[in-house]
Amino acid sequence: MKLIDGKKVSEEIYNDLKIKVEQLKQQGQKVPHLAAVLVGNNPASQTYVNAKVKTCHEVGYGSTLIKLDENITEEDLLKEIYDLNNNPEIDGFIVQLPLPKHINENKVIEAIRPSKDVDGFHPVNLGRMMLNQPAFIPATPMGIMKLLEAAKIETQGKHCVVIGRSHIVGSPMSILMAKNSYPGNCTVTLCHSKTKNIEEFTKQADIIILAIGKPYFLKKEMIKEGVVVIDVGINRVTSTTTKSGFKLAGDADFDDIVSKCSHITPVPGGVGPMTIASLMYNTLLASQKNIYK
């Protein structure tokens, strides 16, 4: 069994990005600048956004954090997005999800200019991705592709079972794994909450990508020997062994399945670190006008 070390791969990406930033500075050019919009006080969203801003500092990017009140009107939020779209200092920006219930998430995402949509959530970017055109690829699926590549996982002709159909992870992941490229060329099955007898699919899988948010969901009876498991789950569970009384658990029951896996990503330290690394990479692409000329 081999652990796929996302922390290590993400650090390699950051080292490359730091070198690029230094080169830009030496050439007297502007460094990439990412803005993040945070609406309200969702603790998980606050943690994620703070981590994104901190990483900008670490790699030498500019960053802007826009914190908005939970009760902001949709109209005022759309005005903020309009300003970011038209601010030449900002190369790319994200609006952290979820948004408060009174705001229409689709309307907000569609208001982001596709050339600044470094999350890759805009329909134009998702459509371009489908059509193999230059596009921003959502950060978590892109991070998983980079992990599979770094671990030299064979994917052609393999059966990849993706569990979870979110717009952020599962759906784009299923599209990427079926593409005629490497990683890719898989036969893909997309399972979700209404799938019957899910173990019939997971038992056939050569690669399982888990993104359902259920701690310890995948057990050893559900997999075959030699499977590759990519675990996107970041679940807070109670623990008697940590000071805080909590720890992070994946969607896979790591201790139960590890001996049957050829490769597995740990939680934490697997997919998680790759998400922010991919966002930083997309921000560089945005600043270099690599996707939208």
Phi and psi at residue 264, to the nearest 5°? -150, 145
Would you give the DSSP letter of residue 155? Answer: -
> Is 238 in contact with 277 (CB distance < 8 Å)?
no
Q: Considering only 92-100, 156-164, 221-229, 254-262, which stretch makes contact with ligand GUN by CB under 6 A?
A: 92-100
Binds ligand GUN by CB under 6 A, chosen from 129, 137, 139, 234: 139
Q: Which residues contact 259 (CB under 8 A, 6 or more apart)?
A: 1, 220
Q: Which stretch binds ligand GUN (CB under 6 A): 11-19, 83-91, 95-103, 128-136?
A: 95-103
Distance, first Cα to last Cα, the chain: 43
Catalytic annotation present for 251: no
Q: Catalytic residue at 52?
A: yes
Contact 74, 90 (CB under 8 A): no
Length of the chain: 293
13 binds ligand GUN (CB under 6 A): no
Pick the stretch among 22-30, 88-96, 172-180, 210-218 that binds ligand GUN (CB under 6 A).
88-96
Minimum CB–partner distance for residue 48 and ligand GUN (Å): 6
If one asks whether residue 287 binds ligand GUN (CB under 6 A), the answer comes out as no
* 34 part of the interface to ligand GUN, by CB under 6 A: no
| Helix, strand, or coil (residue 267) | coil
The helix/strand/coil state of 178 is helix
**Residue among 124 and 168 whose Cβ is closer to ligand GUN:** 168
Query: Under the criterion CB under 6 A, does residue 65 sit at the interface with ligand GUN?
Result: no
Restricted to residues 99-128, the positions that interact with ligand GUN (CB under 6 A) are 119
Could you say which of 91, 116, 117, 119 is catalytic? 119
Minimum CB separation of residue 71 from ligand GUN in Å reads: 20
Query: Per rule CB under 6 A, is residue 95 in the interface with ligand GUN?
Result: yes
Chain centre distance of CA 205: 22
Residue 157 tokens read as 């002709």
Return the number of the residue (94 or 227) whose C-beta is nearest ligand GUN: 94
Q: Is 212 exposed, middle or buried (0-12, 13-18, 19+ CB in 10 A)?
A: buried
Q: Where are the alpha helices (DSSP H) in 2-73?
A: 6-26, 43-59
Q: Nearer Cβ to ligand GUN, position 32 or 138? A: 138
- Which positions are annotated as active-site residues? 52, 96, 119
The residues of the shown chain that bind ligand GUN, judged by CB under 6 A, are 94-97, 119, 139, 168
